[in-house]
Structure 1
Amino acid sequence: MSKRGPVAVAALLAGWLLTPCAAWAQTPFIPYFGKNQIRYDNFRWQIYTTDHFEIYYYPELEQHLERVAGYAESAYQHVSAELKYDLAFKIPLILFKTSSEFQQQNVIPGAAQEGVQAFAEPTRYRIVMPIDEPPDRLYHTIVHELTHQFEFDIIPTSLIRRNVPLWVNEGLSDYMAGDWVPIDLMTVRDAAVADIVPKMTELEGYANVGNVRMVYNLGHALFEFVESRWGKEGIRQFLFSLRKSVIGGGEDAYMEAFRLSPEEFDQEFDKYLKDRFKPFRDKERPADYGRNLAPNPEKSRFVGAYSIEPSPSGDLIAMAVGNRRDRELDIVLVSSKDGSIIRNLTNEFDQDKGFEFIIQPGMRFNTVPWLSWGPAGDRLAYFVRREKWRTLILQNVLTRGIEQRVELREVDDPESPDISPDGTKVVFAALQGGVGDIYVVDLETRALTNLTKDAFADSGPTWAPDGRSIVYVARVSGNEKLFRLDLASGQKTQITFGTHDDSAAQFLDDDTLVFSSTAIDPAKPVDAAMARNGNVHNIWTLGLKTGQLRQYTDALGGNTSPVVLQTGKQEPRIAFVSYYKGEWELHTLDRREPLATAATSDFGAPGPIIDFQAPLSHTLIADNKRRKGAFEKLFLDGRPPLNVGVTSSGDVFGGSAVTFSDVLGDKQMSMYAASISQYRTLAFSFFNAARRFNYSVQGFSQTQFFYGALEGVFYDPIYSSLIAADRDLAVATRTVRGGTAFGIWPIDRYRRVELFGGLLQYREEFNDPSLQTYSEQYQSQQFGRQLFRSGTYIPLGVNYVQETTVFREFGPLAGNTMRLSYEVSPNIGSTLGRQTGDVDARYYLRLGGTGLLALRAKAFRSFGDAPDFMYFGGNSEMRGYQYLEFIGSQAGFLNAELRFPFIEAMLTPLGVLGGVRGVLFADMGGASFGGQPFTWLSTRSELYTPVVGVNQSNLGTLTPVFGPPTRVDGLRLVDARASYGIGLETFALGFPVHFDWAWRTLLNKPWEDLRFAAEGGSSAFRKPRFAVWIGYDF
């Protein structure tokens, strides 16, 4: 996988999109409804075949097909030659025109998040990527992802593939791409000189480093180390030794490949890095520039100063920072004098402000600006993601209110806004047709204009103080160079030259630009080691009239994002971001004497622009094109998942699914099997996600169990003591067979409407034949009909689902969830009729870092000739009561939980295990059938005659024994029930395990003494009950 920027991407929770209607209440072990994966565009897929690839594309990017095919075949020849290995199959290469379209892919839903450049899927060897990068960068990305497929084939993918360190896969892929981005090389140079290189043989995953690119970069450097020590054959030997080690049968990979122990290998690599970057030890460090004005991560929740923008007065600096508490980017205002935090402009979660997240540029990261102040100093501009598109936000810095939202649907991936000197326009960089240009939008008319209209990747624009020209960055001949655009004439002039990279510039005054550049003083001889290991961003200025360049820093890590800090009557200062020891700091610099001076002509002069050419060219063959078939290439879609749960009554739930999907993941055929206790569910489904409107058809057979232990409904109350003594006597089953069809329309990422219909055959009965016969007679006497149903329904209905929940590894943290459902089953011929309404609403109020108050309300009502009924109890629904103890056609319950961290992590002999969370809970609920008297609670004073026992005659007849009538006063639950208690939760083998201690209550002890007199009164009723269950929190 290639990542566009250094900021980590959050992991997503995955789950089933659809389950049979009746299955949901029976298996609420993953009780979330999920956010929407929306297909905004209709892709008309076609296939083009080359020697080593099957390229999937659509007509809108056909003009790029020949070029990309050449890149892909060139990449194959390169990787194959380096590894001396060939693949025995053609690689499916799935192309999207832009990253916003790439993020709609269904190969691995959710994998193409913001910041992910492309990914390689290991099971079916698919590569999925957009083609919106500059040509040379696109070629390197293809090499990177193709290398993954070679790795997956050399080291077989299976459960044991988890033993392959991430740095091996990502590092080798970056090594094969053969290109160091300056910011990536900076992180390795910094780690070597600062002596923070981890032990690579022990490095797992992302190793909890703040910069996820560090794992990629250290792996890249490690394979360069292996090549320098053992040659390319050493790399191949290591891969095949690792293969043996992973699949079993081989000795340690390091010993077999290099004759070194893991400890010796780590020592040799560490020494290699220190020697390689030794010439940089005496370079400038951030402390040489004075105080760090970025937020202190030890004293605040904020980390890093990724991008900065000063206010027009120079008193404040707006800064994009990482918020460790919210795990989002935030924009804070800090004092330019002492760095104190004045205000967080984007506090709390971004979705509460109407967008998903704040945009950060891709691989350019902070070499281009992210923010822009208005000339009046009262508002700030930045880009955010909302649905498919990015939106320009203009926010009032005084009130935090968003004054203007400009949705830019005509272009893709807009970034780097800059407000004009008069405050009426915003210039920015964006893509159209996969090509990057500079655009300007009028804030009043919303008119959008393409200013550059060329074939180069343009970025990082800034207005001249007079508003007559714009300076921007264009990638030409493989390097980032500065250009100036005259707005009146449209003339573009290149103003920096050379084979180094220049970043976005700011005007220091009317005639002087300040920017960062990887240039080296041309007057000094270039040391080979410095040139190879440098590419260091430093602060430079350029006089536009004279062409004079001045270098002001000579950093160890790198200095980027230079801005102009006004200081009143004094000469402006330069503020910039500096990287050291894995952190981004904010420093300022007085304009002192330059370290070096040069003329722009010393680095070169205008000349022919050389476009990138891949090693191999490709000529399209028309006969190799074809339209993709609707069900072409259905394959097993990865390893079947395993779902496990245990109810509070000890019933074990297990389930899995086998899914076959087409190569694009748009069409899926699944078989789902599950069992709880001995009762089974088997379902077959087809799901089509090729367009925004999704649909599914299912056929299933499902048997669920519940407890018909409801006195006065299914049997006479005099038998309650017998049923209570052996609850299994009241086990009943519901068997449903039939088919359903769903249609799903996502309104936005958080809301959707679901339409459904079906034909279902029901059969409900007690397992005990004698109880079934007796219960049928009793139900007829009491209700004039059977509550248990046998017959056919034709359900038609609609669901409204809303899911804004913010999740963490332990479950929900903030937001809300709601599902409103209405179903009608009409009487058609002999079919049964009913109408059913179902509401499930939840709200999560965050308290502190990971604490929260969780509230849930569930209500159910069904009526008609043969109404449905709901059963619940136990688990997280009604703790302290039996599992599925409550049943009725009119039912509901309320839950309130205070969840808090108890132990963040546990160090055990097995390693660091998941932490322990505590919970204080209160539950209340009840259920009844139509025609059955039901009172939720009462405060009325009344006489009540308790049942104090049961007498059994010689013939076995049961007769209740009544106590004296007693007056009851005060608030009390009559037919409803409640409980409260405490609990602990931890994770075992990835599954949440709950330990709950619950106390039952009717809120009135004298009433409990009367109501449960035969069972021992309130002392027995309120006796604490302990339960263990496995499943996710609601």
Structure 2
Amino acid sequence: MDKLYTLFLRRNTTKYAVIIVCLLHLLVTGFEARAQYFGQNKVRYKKLNFKVYKTPHFDVYYYMKNDSLVKRLAQENEVWYTLHQKIFRDTFEKRNPVIFYNNHPDFQQSTVIEGEIGVGTGGITEGFKNRIIMPVMETHHTTRHVLGHELVHAFQYHMLLGKDSSSFENLANIPLWMVEGMAEYLSIGKKDAYTAMWMRDAYLNKDIPTVKALTSTNKYFPYRYGEAFWSFIGSTYGDTVIVPFFKNTARFGLQYGIRRTFGFDDKTLSTLWKNSIEATYKPLLKDTVQNVVGLKVIDNKNGSDMNVAPAISPDGNYLTFLSSKSLFSIDLYLADARSGRIIKKLTSKVSATHIDEFNFLESAGAWSPDSKQFAFSVFSHGRNKVVVVDVPSGKVRHTIAMGKAEQISNLSWSPNGKTIVFQGLAEGQGDLYSYNFNTKQIKQLTNDWFSDYQPSYSKDGRKIIFTSDRTTYDKGLAQDVSFNLAELDVATGAITDIKVFNGANNLNPQYSGDGKKIFFLSNRDGFRNLYSYELATGKTDRLTDYFTGISGITEFSPALSVSNNDDIVYSYYRAQKYTLYNAKATDFKSVTIDPGQTDFTAGMLPPPRAVGVDLINANLNNFLAFPRLPVDSITPAQYRAMFKMDAVKSSGIGIGINSYYGAGLSSGIQGMFSDILGQQKIYAGAAVNGQIYDFGASITYINQKSRWDKGIGLSHIPYQFGFFNQTATPTTYKNKPGYIIRNDSYFVRNFEDAVNIFTSYPISRINRVQFGLGASYNSYRTDRYRDSLVSLPSVDSTYYLGSERKKVNNSEAERALGFRLNSYSLVRTSVAFIGDNSFFGVTSPLNGYRYRIEAEYIFGTFKFFSPTIDLRKYVRVAPVTFAGRLYGTGRFGNANGLYPLYVGYPFLIRGYEGLSFYNNRAANSNAFGINQLSGSRIAVANLEIRLPFTGPEKLAQIKSGFLFTDLNLFFDAGLAWNAGDKIYLQKEPPVIGQTQQLDSNGQPVIDAGGNPVLTPVYGRTPAFSAGISMRVNVFGAFVLEPYLAIPFNRTNIKKPVFGVAFAPGW
């Protein structure tokens, strides 16, 4: 929260003050400023020195030492450009920036993109600068695919935002499945056994979505369903219709875009697509066995919809798996392998603060041979590390960084317990490595250009089976790179290729208990099934014949694990869920298959044959036939920062004219600028809200080149507040006694001109230290708006005399308000320690914790020390969250004359908002008046029970795709006091003395008898309230919280107080 200073509110028989809240500073303080109170960190663990290569159509930014890799990527850039250009019929007039990172851990530290980059993000293309940002992936196939996918987005942005009349507003017309589906189809084509598995699943479950359902719900994964849809469009109407359809949708919206392109409506198109899927897959279902082999151990009832990366212990008793069971994060669970009973959460991102994320997408862990320890890969401190956990106790035994291999996956523990083998990515090269626990030595087992993947030790430890593209990479013409099996002799390093199902993806190999067979997954017939291969004879058997398939989150995710006793645990995909089954090898019905036989008919997306112009698949099938850019045409260039706009936001313009207040203007604009790598950023904002005096502006520069964030900001911000004062002066009017009533509305503007220097050091994703130094000059301007009336009580008449507005001296406002409005200067120094491991729901945090401990010293006109302690904890007990907060701040020293702190804001305690006192005409009708809520020190305690009410199906009680709300029960407590005040724990504050009442001119008030009028002095009492509220996320722009509160200290209030807060849940 911002630390807000507000005016002291007071009322006596002739005057009362009202706060006019102006949040102009929120419009001009920059995009990031409001997020710095809390928020998790994107830590840059190392400084990357980028270089540049230029090709005809691209500026390639890189820092890797593997120059041959960079040039090969630059060549593939140009090949993809050639392919996509034939579809889009568009050319890049300027070279398009492509920024490569050495691996995914480095990619997650990127400054190019704001916010967190998750494990599942393979690449990003942003629109303002049309930058492609991506890491080198673990396999050549995935790197090539992601590059082709992201370049489609670059063409999409260039087409819509370049020479065309479309703009960013038009992008909102295009649903995500169209954008991502096109990128998938243009970079993969019709032959995609993985997406075909999803479509067969949709057919099998009678859940083929309509175009409307694809657009209006988040049930259907946009990449897979979008790819299948575009395959249908291209194969049915020709690839030449793809771009016109896309552009029509951008211009006119989806409904009219369909009608304009095809001549019929979306319902007809949906029916045609559904018919195509059914006609393609119905014949394949007849000869397929649907009985799932084995015992269902983990499903969506005891786990979640996503239960992946299974690993069974060598003795077959235990099972580990990664699951989204806890809703907010992927966690590692331990279960009984036979019953599926969840024993415990082995480790969690929430509790294990040294873990930034689990490497869950395409990796599985490994059991020690005694089934007592478990090793797995995590993201930690800017790289992948191996974490070894003692299973019985849950304690971490080892956390190991694997040398130059900064990205690691797919572990296997040797039978003697001394070593772990894994796939490591170093300088864009995916090889096999081993780590010896005794010697602490890392050994590189393979060292070549090929992608070696998913290693697994034999039961005697002499061999390692793995999957590799060494027999397929660049051997054919197509863009896809298939994987075959290979076996490594640990002693000699000799590699034997296992020739089986050439051209298929043969993945996840595991030795049988006796070491004579290899169990593996293959898509050799377009399906994804389990196979066995006898090492001695080459005999190959199909063990399952599933219509959907055995799969993890991606095609390359591990989905199979085998114990020493041939217990086979696998992940079965059905109804968009991943369910784990446990079966004995003997439970499967074996069918011998010719190892040289493949048929990918079932892996083709509907319809199986293209009727129209088939440019995309023809080009993809001849990917390597396109000429490569000569290496000497890839030229080095000097890196230039090239500051350009990243984003701009406007609040629009509003003009109002009032005879009383005059003309007013409301408008605001924000802009963000950065260099090409996002290492230097400028945030600028300007706004006006009222008259010309209410103009505010700020500009902030942030440097993110190193681990330290450094910045400087300049700002001019007007804060408004106001109060009302009424005086009655005896007079004679029309020969009758009466009073001249003057209703004076004072609008006071506090102008703050400030310069701030700040820096922060992120210790981890959770913790950081912030330092600040700033100086400000504050001045005031007071405008008085006066209505004059004559009241004649004897004849019950009131006459309006007129109105005026004028600038008045601050001294007049001081007399009316009760404290001085002198200009003042402040210099601030601060240091803060911040932690944030919270998980946000739709309107507020629902799990984890936050804290901020800050010390601020202010000197200048005033001189005081201001500490802040803010502690917050969120405990999720589904379906609710128990949330608690302790907050306190204060001023210790000379702060007399500076307006006090106020504890009655609804984001602190509800039921005591300043306006509610006057709306109820009861500011001081009991001893607990509004003055009880202001002081030089405040303390707050809050408890809430939060229930996600409407929103995402897995989170909220009522499913909604557009209305996101939380229902909350709350108890608030707050106290404001000054140095020397006595505090009493009772409902109403006691009278502890008296003081003389002063009039608006600061003079003592005398009664008719000539005696001074005395007013009571009260002790300080904490304020308590309880009630119910509903927070509403308003289209992601802000959070609105209407509430009903029972303010227990306001005994004169007989009904709950209604109020509205504008802030996310604390």
TM-score by length of 2: 0.78
Give, in whole Å, the separation in 1 of the partners of 2:996 and 2:589. Answer: 99
Q: CA deviation at 1:74?
A: 0.8
Question: Does residue 1:563 correspond to 2:561, yes or no?
Answer: yes
Question: Does residue 1:637 correspond to 2:646, yes or no?
Answer: yes
SS at match of 1:505: strand
Deviations 1:292-312 (A, max 9, x none): 2223x2x44522432222223
- Partner residue, 1:597: 592
- Partner residue, 1:935: 982
* 1:252 maps to which of 249, 256, 280: 256
- Partner residue, 1:958: 1005
- Partner residue, 1:200: 211
Task: Report the residue type matching 1:819 in the other structure.
Answer: R
CA distance 1:64–1:730, change in 2 (3 Å) = same
CA distance 1:881–1:959, change in 2 (3 Å) = farther
Bigger relative CO (Cα 8 Å, ≥ 6 apart): 2
CA distance 1:154–1:680, change in 2 (3 Å) = same
Q: CA deviation at 1:627?
A: 1.9
Give, in whole Å, the separation in 2 of the partners of 1:99 and 1:317. Answer: 28
CA distance 1:950–1:835, change in 2 (3 Å) = closer
- Partner residue, 1:619: 630
User: Where does the alignment leave 5 or more consecutive residues of structure 2 unmatched?
Assistant: 1-23, 161-165, 473-480, 552-558, 599-620, 654-663, 726-740, 785-806, 916-929
Deviations 1:165-220 (A, max 9, x none): 111111111111135453333212222333221112441277234xx4xx212222
Q: Tell me if structure 1 keeps the 8 A contact 2:949–2:957.
A: no
SS at match of 2:885: strand
CA distance 1:939–1:45, change in 2 (3 Å) = same
- Partner residue, 2:194: 183
Give, in whole Å, the separation in 2 of the partners of 1:701 and 1:853. Answer: 37
Give, in whole Å, the separation in 2 of the partners of 1:160 and 1:919. Answer: 42
Give, in whole Å, the separation in 2 of the partners of 1:985 and 1:437. Answer: 51
Q: Tell me if structure 2 keeps the 8 A contact 1:817–1:843.
A: yes
CA distance 1:582–1:1000, change in 2 (3 Å) = closer
Q: Tell me if structure 1 keeps the 8 A contact 2:686–2:698.
A: yes
- Partner residue, 1:743: 759
Q: Tell me if structure 2 keeps the 8 A contact 1:640–1:659.
A: no
Q: Tell me if structure 2 keeps the 8 A contact 1:655–1:675.
A: yes
Which one is further off, 919-928 or 265-274?
919-928
* 2:465 maps to which of 444, 464, 471: 471
Give, in whole Å, the separation in 2 of the partners of 1:739 and 1:953. Answer: 37
- Partner residue, 1:14: none
SS at match of 2:765: coil
Q: CA deviation at 1:819?
A: 2.7
Q: Tell me if structure 1 keeps the 8 A contact 2:319–2:336.
A: yes
Q: CA deviation at 1:700?
A: 0.8
- Partner residue, 2:968: 918
Give, in whole Å, the separation in 1 of the partners of 2:1002 and 2:532. Answer: 107
Q: Tell me if structure 2 keeps the 8 A contact 1:100–1:412.
A: yes
* 1:271 maps to which of 238, 261, 275: 275
Task: Report the residue type matching 1:880 in the other structure.
Answer: G
Question: Does residue 1:94 correspond to 2:141, yes or no?
Answer: no
CA distance 1:952–1:166, change in 2 (3 Å) = closer
Q: CA deviation at 1:270?
A: 0.7
Q: CA deviation at 1:703?
A: 2.0
Q: Tell me if structure 2 keeps the 8 A contact 1:1000–1:1023.
A: no
- Partner residue, 2:441: 447
Give, in whole Å, the separation in 2 of the partners of 1:484 and 1:448. Answer: 20
Give, in whole Å, the separation in 1 of the partners of 2:627 and 2:135. Answer: 21
- Partner residue, 2:738: none
CA distance 1:459–1:397, change in 2 (3 Å) = same
CA distance 1:759–1:375, change in 2 (3 Å) = same
- Partner residue, 1:897: 943
- Partner residue, 2:905: 874
* 1:853 maps to which of 883, 888, 897: 883
Q: CA deviation at 1:326?
A: 2.5
Q: CA deviation at 1:708?
A: 8.8
* 1:123 maps to which of 120, 128, 135: 128
Task: Report the residue type matching 1:69 in the other structure.
Answer: A
SS at match of 2:269: helix
Give, in whole Å, the separation in 1 of the partners of 2:766 and 2:960. Answer: 40
Question: Does residue 1:814 correspond to 2:840, yes or no?
Answer: no
Give, in whole Å, the separation in 1 of the partners of 2:251 and 2:159. Answer: 10
* 1:308 maps to which of 294, 307, 310: 310
Give, in whole Å, the separation in 2 of the partners of 1:617 and 1:67. Answer: 9
Question: Does residue 1:545 correspond to 2:536, yes or no?
Answer: yes
Q: CA deviation at 1:288?
A: 4.1
CA distance 1:602–1:161, change in 2 (3 Å) = closer
CA distance 1:229–1:401, change in 2 (3 Å) = same
- Partner residue, 1:574: 568
SS at match of 1:255: helix
Give, in whole Å, the separation in 1 of the partners of 2:188 and 2:911. Answer: 62
* 1:681 maps to which of 690, 696, 699: 696
CA distance 1:874–1:771, change in 2 (3 Å) = farther
CA distance 1:339–1:58, change in 2 (3 Å) = closer
What CA RMSD, in Å, does the superposition of the two structures yield over aligned residues?
A: 4.2
Task: Report the residue type matching 2:964 in the other structure.
Answer: G
Q: CA deviation at 1:807?
A: 1.1
Q: Tell me if structure 2 keeps the 8 A contact 1:563–1:574.
A: yes
Give, in whole Å, the separation in 2 of the partners of 1:159 and 1:258. Answer: 24
Q: Tell me if structure 2 keeps the 8 A contact 1:461–1:470.
A: yes
Question: Does residue 1:66 correspond to 2:71, yes or no?
Answer: yes
SS at match of 2:247: helix
- Partner residue, 1:523: none
Q: CA deviation at 1:1001?
A: 4.1
Q: CA deviation at 1:287?
A: 2.7
CA distance 1:812–1:255, change in 2 (3 Å) = same
- Partner residue, 1:173: 183
Give, in whole Å, the separation in 2 of the partners of 1:414 and 1:205. Answer: 38
Question: Does residue 1:429 correspond to 2:405, yes or no?
Answer: no
- Partner residue, 1:327: 328
* 2:498 maps to which of 486, 495, 498: 495
Give, in whole Å, the separation in 2 of the partners of 1:802 and 1:955. Answer: 48
- Partner residue, 2:112: 107
- Partner residue, 1:838: 868
CA distance 1:564–1:908, change in 2 (3 Å) = closer
Give, in whole Å, the separation in 2 of the partners of 1:145 and 1:767. Answer: 57
Task: Report the residue type matching 2:856 in the other structure.
Answer: E
Question: Does residue 1:229 correspond to 2:236, yes or no?
Answer: yes
Q: Tell me if structure 2 keeps the 8 A contact 1:462–1:470.
A: yes
Q: CA deviation at 1:1026?
A: 1.9
Deviations 1:311-366 (A, max 9, x none): 2322333233331x43322333334434333333246x5344531332124xxx4x
- Partner residue, 1:526: none
CA distance 1:538–1:623, change in 2 (3 Å) = closer
CA distance 1:174–1:954, change in 2 (3 Å) = closer
Q: CA deviation at 1:460?
A: 0.9
CA distance 1:585–1:845, change in 2 (3 Å) = closer
Q: Tell me if structure 2 keeps the 8 A contact 1:921–1:981.
A: yes
CA distance 1:611–1:101, change in 2 (3 Å) = farther
Deviations 1:776-807 (A, max 9, x none): 6899xx9xxx8755243343332322222221
CA distance 1:492–1:879, change in 2 (3 Å) = same
Q: Tell me if structure 2 keeps the 8 A contact 1:30–1:1032.
A: no
Q: CA deviation at 1:79?
A: 0.6
Deviations 1:483-507 (A, max 9, x none): 2112211212112342212112222
- Partner residue, 1:982: 1028
Deviations 1:454-476 (A, max 9, x none): 21111111111112221111123
Task: Report the residue type matching 2:592 in the other structure.
Answer: T
Q: CA deviation at 1:746?
A: 1.4
* 2:893 maps to which of 863, 867, 870: 863
Give, in whole Å, the separation in 1 of the partners of 2:986 and 2:579. Answer: 64
User: Where does the alignment leave 5 or more consecutive residues of structure 1 unmatched?
Assistant: 1-18, 521-533, 604-609, 645-650, 711-724, 1003-1017
